[in-house]
Structures are given as structure tokens and as C-alpha cells.
């Protein structure tokens, strides 16, 4: 069976159908419920399939307060899935508690300056070093820039303070393809995405040296528990 999501409670509303038109059903184990559809083979990755997976997840979100979407392509048999749900019950319960009544917004963060140029927020001595002719100095300056990139997104600190009243939890994924610096996933209360967007727009000027792109609301994909080892 294909697994679409893990739910905190069994919805009473109709679940509709899945990616292949199969009826969705529920598989309960302990305190959690998996929303599944009968399918022997996972669907091929395609635009339609990815859109379809998310459409099912959104529909399940509408009828379930606490939902953890599963990653595309999760196929398991009923017995193994039931065993796994019991094994992972604690981690799933904790994650379901966190996402209950909430949704995800995504903040993509880009370097504010062309990657080949000196950073706009770069300390003056580093900017001076970057223009120096010595290869050793240039190398060390580049390494300092890389270290800053690896340290996350400190430029967001003032904006984070502005968003604090809206954001319940945050996950950050660093990107290794400049000028794409990071994706920051925020968990907010359902129905507050417009407020979130407005707060980001109002606070853009606080995030010196980076540019921002907002996306959402999404089901809380980025707030799934880590895979169990």
C-alpha cells in the first residue's frame, strides 16, 4: 500500500481517492493512523504524480488537525507498516503534537550580492583583502566567506524577532548552490499565512545582505521526525 500521511486522529469526513484513483483508507496502530491507498508499485516521478501526492495531502489536512505528510513513494505492506507505526509511535506522537493545527511556510534565502562580487555586508578589512593581489590572501578571504555561509543565516536574526509571534518552530536547510543560501521552514498556526507574508514584507529591510522569497502555506513536510535508525 502507498502511504500518504500519518494522522493524529481518524477523520470522520470522507477521505476521497488517491493517486491512482484508489479509495483512501486508514490503518490504525496505537495512537496514530496512516492514510493509505492500495497500490503495489510506487508511481513514477512526474509533475502530475507530485501534484497529485500534494493534493491528497492537502485534502487530508482539511479533515485532520494533526498531519505528517509522508515522502513521495512510500510503499509498504500492512503488517510491516503496522509494526513500524508502533515502533515509531513516540517520535510520531511528538511530531504530531507539534504540527497539530499548524502549517508550514518556507523562506528561501539568497545572498544579497552577486557571488562573484564582494559581499555587501562583508567587513571592510575582508573586502580590502579580497581586492589584494596575493593568492594566499584571496584564498583565506574566500575561506572566511565560505565559513560564514556554513554558519547559517545570521542575517535573519532581526527578521526572526519580527516573526517570533507567528513562528512556532523552525527548520533550516543550507543550500550549497550560491547565491541560494538556505531554505528556512517555519511552522505557524493554520490560517495565519497572510500575516506571515505581511510580516516578512514589512521586515525585509531588516535582513541585510540577503534577499528573501516566501512560499506557502504547505502541509508541514519539513517537520517530519528524523528517519528512525
Cell triple for residue 32?
496514530
* Residues making up the chain, counted from first to last: 229
Contacting residue, 179, 189, 203, 206, with another protein by CB under 8 A: 179
Three-point CA angle 30, 2, 36, nearest 5°: 45
93 near another protein (CB under 8 A): no
70 near another protein (CB under 8 A): yes
Nearer to another protein, 145 or 181 (CB): 181
> Using CA atoms, how far apart are residues 62 and 9, in angstroms rounded to an integer?
13
Site string for another protein, 2-31 (x = CB under 8 A): -x-xx-------------------------
Backbone angles phi, psi at 96, to 5 degrees: -65, -35
CA 20 to centroid of chain Cα atoms: 26
- Least distance (Å) from another protein to the CB of residue 128? 26
Nearer to another protein, 132 or 168 (CB): 168
Nearer to another protein, 133 or 229 (CB): 229
Contacting residue, 30, 31, 65, 84, with another protein by CB under 8 A: 84
- Least distance (Å) from another protein to the CB of residue 206? 17
58 near another protein (CB under 8 A): no
Strand arrangement, sheet containing 32-37: 2-7, 32-37, 24-29
47 near another protein (CB under 8 A): yes
Nearest to 68 by CA among 102, 23, 19: 102
Amino acid at each position: 500500500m502507498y502511504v500518504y500521511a500519518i494522522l493524529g486522529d481518524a477523520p470522520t469526513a470522507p477521505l476521497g481517492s488517491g493517486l491512482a484513483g484508489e479509495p483512501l483508507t486508514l490503518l490504525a496502530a496505537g495512537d496514530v493512523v496512516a492514510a493509505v491507498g492500495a497500490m503495489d508499485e510506487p508511481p513514477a516521478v512526474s509533475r502530475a504524480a507530485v501534484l497529485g501526492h500534494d493534493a491528497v495531502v492537502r485534502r487530508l489536512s482539511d479533515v485532520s488537525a494533526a498531519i505528517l505528510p509522508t515522502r513521495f513513494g512510500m510503499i509498504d505492506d500492512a503488517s510491516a507498516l503496522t509494526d513500524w507505526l508502533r515502533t515509531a509511535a513516540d517520535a510520531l506522537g511528538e511530531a504530531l503534537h507539534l504540527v497539530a493545527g499548524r502549517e508550514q511556510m518556507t523562506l528561501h534565502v539568497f545572498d544579497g550580492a552577486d557571488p562573484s562580487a564582494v559581499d555587501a555586508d562583508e567587513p571592510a578589512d575582508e573586502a580590502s583583502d579580497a581586492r589584494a593581489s596575493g593568492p594566499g590572501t584571496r584564498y583565506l578571504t574566500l575561506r572566511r566567506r565560505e565559513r560564514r555561509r556554513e554558519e547559517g543565516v545570521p542575517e535573519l536574526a532581526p527578521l526572526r524577532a519580527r516573526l517570533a509571534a507567528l513562528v512556532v518552530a523552525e527548520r533550516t536547510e543550507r543550500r550549497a548552490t550560491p547565491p541560494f543560501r538556505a531554505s528556512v521552514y517555519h511552522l505557524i498556526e493554520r490560517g495565519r499565512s497572510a500575516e506571515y507574508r505581511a510580516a516578512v514584507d514589512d521586515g525585509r529591510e531588516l535582513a541585510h545582505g540577503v534577499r528573501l522569497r516566501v512560499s506557502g502555506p504547505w502541509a508541514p513536510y519539513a517537520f517530519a521526525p528524523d528517519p528512525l535508525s
